[in-house]
Amino acid sequence: MNNDGMLSVRHLSKSYTRGVVRRQRVDAVKDVSFSIPAGTAMGIAGNSGCGKSTIARMIMGLIPPDDGAVFLDGRQISGLKAGEMKTVRRQIQIIFQHPESSLDPRRKIIESVLEAMEIHGVKQGRAQREARVEELFEMLGLHTRLFQRYPHQISGGEAQRIVIARALTLEPKVLILDEPTSMLDASIQAHILTLLKTLQEALGLTYLLISHDLEVLCWFCDRIGIMTGGALIETGTRTEILEKPEQPFTKKLVESFFAF
């Protein structure tokens, strides 16, 4: 395991304590290491509660890891000070599972999208920024009439594409997608994943796609990691995972998805 990929994590661990009276320790993530080469997509599959989102949050610096480190393009980004982290945030962006609640309910769509550029001082002036948003909306098949709407007035699929557009205004190198389509129905899911694939080729993005759906991962990703109980037990290419899984858990997971 090396950290020369675009994004790599080494020995990441995180545990939570739960309960007030009887304190219980939950090892959400246990010693996870992987590395994603630039321009490729890595997938992480695993059942609910196995620690996938916790990894994503640690990579984003939203929660501090108990142990281990995160590297972006060879540079350690975990444990940075707030000011330094801000510049990192431009290069690595995350899309969450819940499109409807990913936008401030009291703000118009356009304001929410522009905010990313305002925070980082990308482009000068509102007109230029809006022009950029229009470009991205066009690319994602979104109508600009959505600009003046509020989050409760758009569909889940639209919301998710809007969040993707907002992330892209910062021209990130890495996108972390934490179950980006699991709340959407099948046809929209396929549409958004295809869009993301196109974007990857057009912009040379590096992806970390988190999903419990092995089928989606196999189609989308170059490499796939299998997680259970906080540990990354196996990683391999799609053929390796599908055809010669090493771990019994992986075998069971594959069978459950591709049982005939």
Ligand X SMILES: Nc1ncnc2c1ncn2[C@@H]1O[C@H](COP(=O)(O)OP(=O)(O)OP(=O)(O)O)[C@@H](O)[C@H]1O
Q: Which stretch binds ligand X (CB under 6 A): 47-55, 85-93, 136-144, 244-252?
A: 47-55
Exactly one of 20, 24, 152, 187 binds other proteins (CB under 8 A); that residue is: 152
Question: What is the number of the residue whose Cβ is closest to Mg ion?
Answer: 53
Phi, psi torsion values for 203, nearest 5 degrees: -110, 0
Task: Based on the shown chain and the rule CB under 6 A, indicate whether residue 16 belongs to the binding site for ligand X.
Answer: yes
In the complex, the smallest distance separating the C-beta of residue 147 from ligand X, rounded to whole angstroms, is: 31
Interhelix angle 156-168/186-203, nearest 10 degrees: 10
Which 8-state DSSP code applies to residue 179?
S
Residue ranges in 62-81 that form contacts with other proteins under rule CB under 8 A = 62
Task: Based on the shown chain and the rule CB under 5 A, indicate whether residue 53 belongs to the binding site for Mg ion.
Answer: yes
User: Residue 181 corresponds to which tokens in the numbers above?
Assistant: 């389509």
Phi, psi torsion values for 113, nearest 5 degrees: -70, -40
Task: Based on the shown chain and the rule CB under 6 A, indicate whether residue 26 belongs to the binding site for ligand X.
Answer: yes
| 65 vs 83: CA distance, rounded Å | 19
Residues near other proteins (CB under 8 A), total:
33
User: What residues are paired with 146 via a beta bridge?
Assistant: none
Reference 163, options 226, 103, 91; nearest CA is 103
Task: Based on the shown chain and the rule CB under 8 A, indicate whether residue 145 belongs to the binding site for other proteins.
Answer: no
Q: Which of other proteins, Mg ion, ligand X, none does residue 145 bind (CB under 5 to 8 Å by kind)?
A: none
CA dihedral 135, 137, 140, 142 (to 10 degrees): -140
Task: Based on the shown chain and the rule CB under 8 A, indicate whether residue 106 belongs to the binding site for other proteins.
Answer: yes
Task: Based on the shown chain and the rule CB under 6 A, indicate whether residue 54 belongs to the binding site for ligand X.
Answer: yes
Task: Based on the shown chain and the rule CB under 8 A, indicate whether residue 166 belongs to the binding site for other proteins.
Answer: yes
In the complex, the smallest distance separating the C-beta of residue 219 from other proteins, rounded to whole angstroms, is: 26
Reference 7, options 91, 85, 81, 87; nearest CA is 91
| 193 vs 93: CA distance, rounded Å | 17
Phi, psi torsion values for 232, nearest 5 degrees: -90, 105
Exactly one of 11, 18, 25, 126 binds ligand X (CB under 6 A); that residue is: 18
Binding mask 179-218 for ligand X (x = CB under 6 A): ---------------------------------x------
| 186 vs 25: CA distance, rounded Å | 37
* Strands 206-211 vs 41-46: parallel, antiparallel or unpaired: parallel
Task: Based on the shown chain and the rule CB under 6 A, indicate whether residue 124 belongs to the binding site for ligand X.
Answer: no
Residues that bind ligand X in the complex, under the rule CB under 6 A: 16, 18, 26, 28, 46, 48-54, 212
Residues that bind other proteins in the complex, under the rule CB under 8 A: 60, 62, 82, 85-86, 89-90, 93-94, 96-98, 100-107, 115-116, 119-120, 148, 150-153, 163, 166-167, 170
